[in-house]
C-alpha cells in the first residue's frame, strides 16, 4: 500500500488512493490533520501531534514545532537531554502518521509519496527523503506541494483547457505554480516561491505588537524563544485567526499572575502586514513570466494553504488578478489529497490510466566558472547555468568547460542553485575537484552532466574526455550525509524512544489542552479549569474506558465553551 503524505510546517496529513478518488485518513484523535509538533513528557515519553502542540506554551522547552524550517540544516534541538535534528523530528511525525494509517487500514504501510515545497533545494529534499526512511518508509517519490494541489484539482477537470494557477501559502512557505492540462497530461509550466514566507511571519507581526505594548522596555522578551515570546506566539495565532472573522480581536497572555491584554484592529494589523503581502507578488509575476502566460489567460486562481484564509491575503490575490480566487479546494487538505492521487499513479491504479503528470525544476542549477574579461583579466565566481529553471523534469543536460590556466592539474567544479549572475548570490550544493592531464589553457575539457529526477533530486557526473575518467559528484550534503550504518543506528534510536500508548492519545491531548487553559486564564475561569482538570484526572484513575471517554467529551465541550473551539 502506497500512501500520500503532506508533511507540513504546521500540519501534516496522510491519504490513500481508493480506486475512485483520494481519501484522507483520520488520526487517533479522529482528525484529518496532525499538527507537526513533537514534545517529550516529564517521564520522557514522546508525544506527537495535537497533544504536543497543546504543550507548546506550557512546556516550551520540551516542545518543538515548525521544524520544517530547519530541514536540510545540521541545527538540532535538545529535548529531555536528547538531541534531535529536523530530520529526526520529521521522522517522528511520519512514524505517527504511518501508525495511524496502519491502524485505520489494518495493513502495513511501507511505501510513501511525500510532498515538499516546490522551492525546497536539493539538501532539503534529501533530508525529507531520509526522514521518510528513518520512519521506516520507502519514499517512492517527492512531489512538489503546489503540483500535488494541482493534481487534486486537475483530476476533476481533465477537460479544462485554460491554464490555472495554484497559490499555496502555508505556515512557513509560499509556493506558486502555473498548470495546464492537455489530453490527460497535467503539466506544470512554471513554479516559483519563497521558502521563508507563511502564517508564522504574520504571527510575528502580532508578537512584535504584543512586545511593544506589554514589554516596551524589552525586559521580558530576551531572546526569541523566551517563555514570554512563546506565550505571545501562541496567543498571536489565536488572535490572527479571530481577525479572519472579525474587525478586531484581543491579544492576551497571563504573565506573572497578571493578565496582559490589548485590542488589535484588523486595519492596524493589516497596515503592518503590508510588507509581507508585497512579497507575494514577485513569485506570482515570475511564474507568469517564465511560463509566458498572461494573468488574463488563467481560468482559475486556486487558493491552497491555511494562511490563504486571511482576508488580507484574499484581497491581495483579488487585486493581483482582477478577479476572485477559487476557494473550492479545502486549503488544508488539497496537498495531501494530491499526494494520495500521486500514490495512486505510482501504484498504477487503473482509474488513473489516462493521466500523466509532468513537473518542472523551479530553480536554475549550474556551476561556478571564471571568465576572461575584455582587458585580459579574470573574473571569478561567475554562475554558468546547466539546467535552467522551469525545465521539464526528469532532465539531463551536459555542458563542456575547459582549463583556465596552462598546466593546470585539477579543475574545481562547484555546484550552485539559484538565479544570480554571481555564485555568491546562489545556494552552494556541493563541490568536486577533478584531476586533469596538464595542457595549454583552453585545451583540456571536462563534460559536466546534470541529471535531475522526477523527485527533484540532482546527480552530477563529470567526465574528462582525454582520460575517459568519470567522477560522480560528492555533494557537500552527501559528504555530511549519514552512511547506511549510521542511518540504521539513527532509525534504531528513534524506534527505541518511549512513545505514549496510542489509546491514551486523546486523553493526553485533552489534559494538555486543559493545562494550557489553566495557565491562560485567571480568577474564576482558572478555578473552573482547575476543577475540570481534577475531575478528569479522577475519572482516569478509575480506569473505566467508557467513563473516561464520556468525561473527556465533557471536558472538551467545557473548554470549547471557555476559549472557543479547538483548532488544528
Ligand atoms: P503548512 O502546509 O505549512 O503546514 P497549512 O496549510 O496547514 O500549513 O497552513 C497553516 C497556516 O494557516 C498557519 O500559519 C495558520 O495560522 C494558518 N491558518 C489556518 N486557519 C486560519 C484562519 N482561519 N485564519 C488565518 N490563518 C489561518
Ligand atoms: Mg502545506
What is the full DSSP assignment across 184-195? TEEEEEEEEEET
Whether ligand 1 lies within 6 angstroms of the CB of 556 is answered as no
Per-residue pLDDT tens digits for 345-370? 999 988 888 888 999 999 999 999 99
Residue 145 is a catalytic residue: yes
Q: Give the relative orientation of helices 227-245 and 199-214 as an angle to the nearest 10 degrees.
A: 110
Residue 191 Cα to ligand 1 midpoint, Å, equals 21
**Angle, CA 483 vertex, CA 477 and CA 485 arms, to 5°:** 155
For the segment 164-181, the average pLDDT, to the nearest whole number, is 95
| Confidence at 476, pLDDT banded by 50, 70, 90 | very low
Tell me phi and psi for residue 281, to 5 degrees.
-70, -50
| Confidence at 257, pLDDT banded by 50, 70, 90 | confident
Atom of ligand 1 nearest to the CA of 173: 3
Predicted confidence at residue 223, as pLDDT, reads: 65
Predicted confidence at residue 474, as pLDDT, reads: 54
Q: Is the pLDDT of residue 478 over 70?
A: no
Q: Which of 49, 149, 307, 335 to mutate to test the pocket of ligand 1 (most atoms within 8 A of CB)?
A: 307
Out of 145, 230, 359, 477, which one is annotated catalytic?
145
Q: Which residues contact 138 (CB under 8 A, 6 or more apart)?
A: 110, 111, 112, 132
Predicted confidence at residue 153, as pLDDT, reads: 92
Whether ligand 1 lies within 6 angstroms of the CB of 230 is answered as no
Residue 168 is a catalytic residue: yes
Q: Is the pLDDT of residue 16 over 90?
A: yes
Q: Is the pLDDT of residue 188 over 70?
A: yes
Predicted confidence at residue 495, as pLDDT, reads: 85
For the segment 159-171, the average pLDDT, to the nearest whole number, is 92
| Confidence at 390, pLDDT banded by 50, 70, 90 | very high
Least confident of 42-46, 136-140, 341-345: 42-46
More confident residue, 432 or 310: 310
Query: How many whole angstroms separate alpha carbon 338 and alpha carbon 399?
Result: 35
Atom of ligand 1 nearest to the CA of 305: 6
Residue 415 Cα to ligand 2 midpoint, Å, equals 29
For the segment 227-231, the average pLDDT, to the nearest whole number, is 85
Q: Is 519 exposed, middle or buried (0-12, 13-18, 19+ CB in 10 A)?
A: middle
For the segment 446-474, the average pLDDT, to the nearest whole number, is 91
| Backbone conformation region of residue 188, classed left if phi is above 0, alpha if psi is from -120 to 50, else beta | beta
For the segment 11-36, the average pLDDT, to the nearest whole number, is 96
Q: Which of 6, 8, 67, 171 to mutate to test the pocket of ligand 1 (most atoms within 8 A of CB)?
A: 171
Q: Is the pLDDT of residue 344 over 90?
A: yes
Predicted confidence at residue 480, as pLDDT, reads: 60
For the segment 41-53, the average pLDDT, to the nearest whole number, is 94
Contact 84, 71 (CB under 8 A): no
For the segment 401-427, the average pLDDT, to the nearest whole number, is 94
Residue 166 Cα to ligand 1 midpoint, Å, equals 16
Out of 31, 54, 68, 300, which one is annotated catalytic?
68
Least confident of 89-93, 255-259, 276-280, 435-439: 255-259
Owner of C-alpha cell 488512493:
17
Q: Is the pLDDT of residue 256 over 90?
A: no
Predicted confidence at residue 128, as pLDDT, reads: 97
- Report the length, in residues, of the chain: 568
Q: Which of 398, 385, 397, 407 is nearest to 446 (CA)?
A: 398
Percent of residues, the chain, with pLDDT higher than 90: 76
Predicted confidence at residue 156, as pLDDT, reads: 85
Residue 6 is a catalytic residue: yes
Any long-range contacts for 153-159 (C-beta under 8 Å, 24+ apart)? 153/302, 153/329, 153/334, 154/179, 154/181, 154/186, 155/21, 155/186, 155/341, 155/352, 155/355, 157/181, 158/184, 158/354, 158/355
Predicted confidence at residue 53, as pLDDT, reads: 94
Out of 31, 87, 168, 290, which one is annotated catalytic?
168
Whose atoms come closest to the Cα of 148: which ligand? Answer: 2
Per-residue pLDDT tens digits for 499-539? 877 778 999 999 999 999 998 899 999 999 999 999 999 99
Residue 10 Cα to ligand 2 midpoint, Å, equals 8
Predicted confidence at residue 503, as pLDDT, reads: 78
| Confidence at 183, pLDDT banded by 50, 70, 90 | confident
Q: Is the pLDDT of residue 157 over 90?
A: no
| Confidence at 439, pLDDT banded by 50, 70, 90 | very high
End-to-end CA distance of the chain: 27
Strand pairing of 63-65 and 46-48? unpaired
Q: Is the pLDDT of residue 449 over 80?
A: yes
Amino acid at each position: 500500500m502506497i500512501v500520500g503524505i503532506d508533511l507540513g510546517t504546521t500540519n501534516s496529513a496522510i491519504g490513500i488512493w481508493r480506486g475512485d478518488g483520494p481519501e484522507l485518513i483520520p488520526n487517533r484523535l479522529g482528525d484529518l490533520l496532525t499538527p507537526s509538533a513533537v514534545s517529550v513528557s516529564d517521564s520522557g515519553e514522546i508525544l506527537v501531534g495535537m497533544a504536543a502542540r497543546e504543550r507548546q506554551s506550557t512546556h516550551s522547552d520540551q516542545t518543538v514545532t515548525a521544524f520544517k524550517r530547519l530541514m536540510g540544516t545540521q541545527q538540532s534541538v535538545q529535548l529531555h537531554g536528547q538531541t534531535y535534528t529536523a530530520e529526526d523530528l520529521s521522522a517522528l511525525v511520519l512514524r505517527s502518521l504511518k501508525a495511524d494509517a496502519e491502524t485505520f487500514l489494518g495493513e502495513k504501510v511501507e511505501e510513501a509519496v511525500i510532498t515538499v515545497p516546490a522551492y525546497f533545494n536539493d539538501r532539503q529534499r534529501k533530508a525529507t527523503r531520509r526522514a521518510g526512511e528513518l520512519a521506516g518508509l520507502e519514499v517512492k517519490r517527492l512531489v512538489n506541494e503546489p503540483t500535488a494541489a494541482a493534481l487534486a484539482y486537475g483530476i476533476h477537470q481533465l477537460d479544462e483547457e485554460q491554464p490555472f494557477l495554484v497559490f499555496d501559502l502555508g505556515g512557513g512557505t509560499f509556493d506558486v505554480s502555473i498548470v495546464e492540462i492537455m489530453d490527460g497530461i497535467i503539466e506544470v509550466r512554471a513554479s516559483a516561491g519563497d521558502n521563508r514566507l507563511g502564517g508564522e511571519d504574520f504571527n510575528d507581526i502580532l508578537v512584535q505588537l504584543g512586545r511593544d505594548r506589554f514589554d516596551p522596555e524589552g525586559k521580558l522578551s530576551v531572546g526569541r524563544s523566551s517563555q514570554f515570546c512563546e506565550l505571545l506566539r501562541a496567543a498571536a495565532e489565536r488572535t490572527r485567526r479571530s481577525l479572519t472573522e472579525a474587525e478586531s480581536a484581543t491579544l492576551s497572555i497571563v504573565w506573572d499572575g497578571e493578565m496582559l491584554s490589548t485590542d488589535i484592529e484588523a486595519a492596524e494589523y493589516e497596515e503592518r502586514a503590508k510588507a509581507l503581502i508585497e512579497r507575494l507578488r514577485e513569485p506570482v509575476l515570475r511564474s507568469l513570466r517564465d511560463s509566458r502566460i498572461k494573468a488574463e489567460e488563467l481560468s482559475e486562481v486556486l487558493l491552497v494553504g491555511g494562511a490563504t484564509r486571511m482576508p488580507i491575503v484574499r484581497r491581495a490575490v483579488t487585486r493581483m488578478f482582477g478577479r476572485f480566487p477559487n476557494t473550492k479546494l479545502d486549503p488544508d487538505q488539497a496537498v495531501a489529497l494530491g499526494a494520495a492521487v500521486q500514490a495512486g499513479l505510482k501504484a498504477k491504479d487503473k482509474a488513473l490510466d489516462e493521466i500523466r503528470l509532468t513537473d518542472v525544476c523551479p530553480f536554475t542549477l549550474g556551476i561556478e566558472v571564471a571568465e576572461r574579461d575584455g582587458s585580459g583579466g579574470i573574473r571569478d565566481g561567475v554562475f554558468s547555468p546547466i539546467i535552467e529553471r522551469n525545465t521539464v523534469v526528469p532532465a539531463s543536460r551536459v555542458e563542456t568547460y575547459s582549463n583556465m590556466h596552462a598546466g593546470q592539474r585539477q579543475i574545481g567544479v562547484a555546484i550552485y542553485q539559484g538565479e544570480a549572475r554571481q555564485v555568491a548570490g546562489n545556494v552552494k550544493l556541493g563541490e568536486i575537484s577533478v584531476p586533469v592531464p596538464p595542457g595549454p589553457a583552453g585545451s583540456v575539457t571536462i563534460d559536466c552532466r546534470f541529471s535531475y529526477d522526477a523527485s527533484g533530486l540532482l546527480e552530477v557526473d563529470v567526465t574528462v574526455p582525454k582520460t575517459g575518467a568519470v567522477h560522480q559528484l560528492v555533494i557537500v550534503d552527501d559528504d555530511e550525509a549519514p552512511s547506511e550504518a549510521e542511518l540504521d543506528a539513527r532509525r534504531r534510536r528513534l524506534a527505541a524512544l518511549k512513545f505514549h500508548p496510542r489509546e491514551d492519545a486523546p486523553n493526553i491531548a485533552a489534559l494538555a489542552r486543559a493545562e494550557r487553559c489553566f495557565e491562560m486564564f485567571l480568577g474564576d475561569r482558572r478555578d473552573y479549569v482547575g476543577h475540570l482538570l481534577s475531575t478528569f484526572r479522577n475519572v482516569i484513575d478509575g480506569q473505566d474506558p467508557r467513563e473516561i471517554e464520556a468525561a473527556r467529551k465533557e471536558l472538551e465541550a467545557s473548554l470549547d465553551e471557555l476559549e472557543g473551539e479547538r483548532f488544528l
